[in-house]
Each structure stands twice: as structure tokens, then as C-alpha cells.
Amino acid sequence: MPARATTILRLAPAVLILGVCGVACSADVPEWVNFPGDEWETIAPQEAGLDAARFNAWVRSQEPEFGKAYGGQKPGAGGVVIARGGYLLHTWGDPDFKYQSASLGKTFTRMLVQLAVDEGLIESATDLVRDYWTGAGQLSHPHKYLTNGHHQSLTFQHLMDMRGGFPVTNGYFWKTKKDVRSWARYTGDPDHDNYAHVEPGSQRCYSSGGYWRLSQALATIWKRDLKDVLDERIMSKIGIPADRWHWLSGEEVRNDVDFYPEMPGYGGYLDRPYRINGVRVRGGGGWVVMSASDFARLGLLVATGGIWKDERLISKLGGNVGVGANTMWGWGVVDGKDGYFSFGKVATGFQDPKPEEMAEWVVGVVERRGAVGAR
């Protein structure tokens, strides 16, 4: 893969595909890439170096379903944004509409692991989690302590890659015995069963329960609210104010029995502690409330490999793009061409663009404008 090819890959409803890529330095980001200020600026496809006929044909082919429900939730609207080189190309619906974005929040949890490595709080993602947090006296049962059982070999990377041996991802599904792995030591209680059932690395299983354990460990390591860390290190730098997005805590999701009305008790696997040393634990498995417009800003950061206005904010980026109605993408290179496309989608059914499609649109580079977000 070329050095500038930075991509966050698709998350299907039950499958997480993870990618970690980056660029070596700011010189790798083309000069024509703009970093938007407070507001996005919209340009025409031809100004963006695209074949206008091909791009507009793709736009016309879209039939988004705004306010698409999932799990019985009923969003009031929906929005989609696509941009190139830091300029908006097209929007559908309400690009500023915010809604909880389900598993897309796992991307934020992965960012926090990498930021902890960058900061020197964690030496490597392959470090043992128990060396930083054991959970003893805080987790509900000793069989969950990270010094006991299979947890003794559990690393941050195992949890990020869904290979931590945690089989629970949905309290309702677990209680009704849906999608229970044959190797799981099933009791029917999603809280009791949220732990490593097998040796980490031996099995792969999509698990929001594993990401919840990861967020508890990160809250211990950072000793701060994880949202505050992202606000300081990422969001404030890329034009997303702290009050323009929210990240639900695990406790909020756990206590809302009808969080997903079609799956009552969904959050039953989100076990204590909900605060560690007074710090609220955010929902590492998802539930970030953000707009398509701001997800597209993050997509641009992904496309540049973690660089914004000649400053490296994070050394690597990679993770999921959500499920169904919510996605976030960033592409540096598409089929060998400089793309620098970014994309955000919230609460809507929509056929996301494919890299090969975008490569067909590209005929040149963006005609950089004055100084909306000058580098």
C-alpha cells in the first residue's frame, strides 16, 4: 500500500475490519489539501479536479433514507457529507444532524490507545493490559480480574482486534442465546459473562464487551475523562468544539433498558466500574453523538494519516466506520491516485462510495482557494 494510502475500513453489522496506516511526515500531504476552519466551503466537482459528469451521475443515483432506524430507535433526520481535499462536494439531508452513531465510537477508543502510546502512557499496544490496570476490587467478580484466568496474557491489541476472548456484544442477544460461540462458558447473565473465556488471540469474536473493558483500562491510564482527552488532542484542533459532540457513558447505556427498544436490556453486559478514581468511563464500544459534517472532518484527518495544518495530531489512525446507518471514511490514495476524500453519514440508508468509483472521478487536483482553512 502506498505510504499515503490511509483508510478506515468498513464495519459490517457483525464483522469489524481494522486498518492501521499513516503517512511519514506533513510533506506527504499534497499542497492542494485544505484544512477547513470553522465552516466548510463548497466547491464544484470540476474545481475539485473531478470528472463532473461521472461524479454528478453518482450523486443522482443515490436515494438516501433519512432518519433510518436501528434497534428500534427512531432518528428524526439524517445526513451525508462527501468532501475532497478539505472542501465539500455534496451533502444530502441535514449534514449537521447529530445522533448516537452505534459502533462507530470504537474508532474513538482506538484513537485513545494510539494517543496513549504517543504520550508514553503505554509503551506499545501489544503490552499486557494487567500491567496498567488489574480491575481488582473494582470489577464485579474475581473471575474478571485481569490478573486471573485467560486475562493474564490479554493485550490492548487483542481487545482492539476483537481477539480478547470476550464473547458478549449485546445483553439482549446474550440472554436470548443468540450468536453465542461454542467456546463460551455461557451462564445467560451478560454481566457475569463479560470476561475472557478463552486464551486471547485464539479466537476472533466481535465484542463490544471487550471494547468496554478497554475503555475502563484507558480511563485508568489517562486519569481523565476520555472525551476531554479527545477534545484537547484532536477535536479542538480540527474545528469540532467540545459542545458540538457527545459520548455516552457506559452507565447511561446500561441504565437505559430500552436504549434499543427492539433489544431490551441491550446494555446489560456493561459491567461496573462506571467511574474510576472519580472519572466517568465513556462507552468504549460506541455511542458517540456527532454529525455527518464533523465525521467528515475526522475523515480528512484519517486521509492525511493524522496530520492537520502541518501538525501531526496522532501517529496512526485506524478502526471501524460504524454499522448500517452510520459510517466515516477517509482515503488518501484511491487506486494509485491522490484522492484525499472524506465522508460522513449519520442515521440514513445510503450506498457509500467505493475507492474504485472515486478513482474514476479523479482527473486532476483541487483548485485551492484563498484561505478558508489556510495551512
d(CA 119, CA 363): 40
Domain boundaries, the chain: 11-101+288-361, 103-286
Beta strand ranges found along the chain (DSSP E): 11-12, 15-16, 65-66, 79-84, 87-93, 98-100, 246-247, 275-276, 279-280, 288-291, 307-308, 311-312, 327-334, 337-346, 348-349
Unique residue bearing C-alpha cell 457483525: 14
Q: What confidence score (pLDDT) does residue 375 get?
A: 57
92 phi, psi to nearest 5 deg: -130, 145
Beta-strand relationship, 327-334 and 337-346: antiparallel
Give me the torsion for CA of 123, 127, 132, 138, rounded to 10°.
150
Q: Which residue has the cell 483548485?
A: 367
- Taking the CA atoms of residue 199, residue 201, residue 203 and residue 205 in that order, the dihedral angle to the nearest 10 degrees is 110
What does the block give as the cell for 315? 501517529
Q: Give the model's pLDDT for residue 24.
A: 31
pLDDT of residue 1: 31
Residue with cell 483508510: 7
What is the pLDDT, as a whole number, of residue 16?
Answer: 30
Low-confidence ranges of the chain (pLDDT < 70): 1-27, 318-324, 369-375
Cα distances from 20 to residues 1, 4, 236, 355, in angstroms, run: 11, 12, 23, 17
Count of beta carbons in the 10 Å neighbourhood of residue 44: 13
pLDDT tens for each residue of 362-373: 999 999 766 444
Model confidence over 294-334: pLDDT tens digits? Answer: 999 999 999 999 999 989 999 987 544 445 689 999 999 99
Report the relative pairing of strands 15-16 and 307-308 from DSSP bridges: unpaired
Helices (H) and strands (E) in the chain, counts: 9, 15
CA–CA separation, 111 and 232 (whole Å)? 13
Distance of CA 298 to the CA centre of its chain: 10
What does the DSSP 8-state code read for residue 232? H
Looking at residue 316, what is its pLDDT?
Answer: 81
- DSSP labels for 37-65? -SS--B--TTTTTB-HHHHHHHHHH---E
Judge if the upstream peptide bond of residue 273 is cis by omega within 30 degrees of 0. yes
List, for residues 247-299, the tens digit of each pLDDT value: 999 999 999 999 999 999 999 999 999 999 999 999 999 999 999 999 999 99
